Amino acid sequence: MYNRGIRGATTVTRNDEQEILDETLRLMKEIADRNDINPEDICSIWITLTHDLDAAFPAKAIRQLEGWELVPLMCSMEVPVKGSLPRCIRLMVTVNTDKGQAEINHVYLNEAKKLRPDLAAPKA
């Protein structure tokens, strides 16, 4: 078994608590579905937000999922680089898996698809 990182990112249209929570949840569910993982497989999840998002802790959304209450979550602010993608939420999900690096499905939604167009489309 290996310890692998699964990247994901999404954007919101405004600094709104409910939108931040909804998009975080959507992103986390996509990562779990595309990689066939469950909470017991997860070592931890690192969540970052750009500095223009301060209306909510995205971890709150994940903690409310049934069975996810014990998954270690940490929120942080993204490095404020000029010209970077605004209103962006990023996840780094560290999992235990038998999959190789090439089998991992990273997930980029909304405007975050611009960050890694090579990884944005789901694998067939």
Active-site annotation holds for 75: yes
Active-site annotation holds for 63: yes
Active-site hit among 2, 14, 63, 103:
63
Active-site annotation holds for 4: no
Active-site hit among 23, 30, 87, 90:
90
Active-site annotation holds for 87: no
CB atoms within 10 A of CB 93: 27
Q: Are 28 and 34 in contact (CB under 8 A)?
A: no
Active-site hit among 7, 19, 26, 111:
7
Q: Flag whether 90 is marked binding.
A: yes
Per DSSP, 67 falls in state: T
Active-site hit among 17, 19, 78, 111:
78
Active-site annotation holds for 108: yes
Q: What stretch of H or E contains 17?
A: helix 17-35
Active-site annotation holds for 90: yes
Q: Flag whether 34 is marked binding.
A: no
Burial of 94 (0-12, 13-18, 19+ CB in 10 A): middle
Tell me if residue 84 falls in helix, strand or coil.
coil
Active-site hit among 14, 43, 103, 116:
116
Q: Are 116 and 16 in contact (CB under 8 A)?
A: no
Active-site annotation holds for 7: yes
Binding-site positions read 7, 90, 108
Catalytic residues: 7, 63, 75, 78, 90, 108, 116
Q: Which residues are annotated as a binding site for prephenate?
A: 7, 90, 108
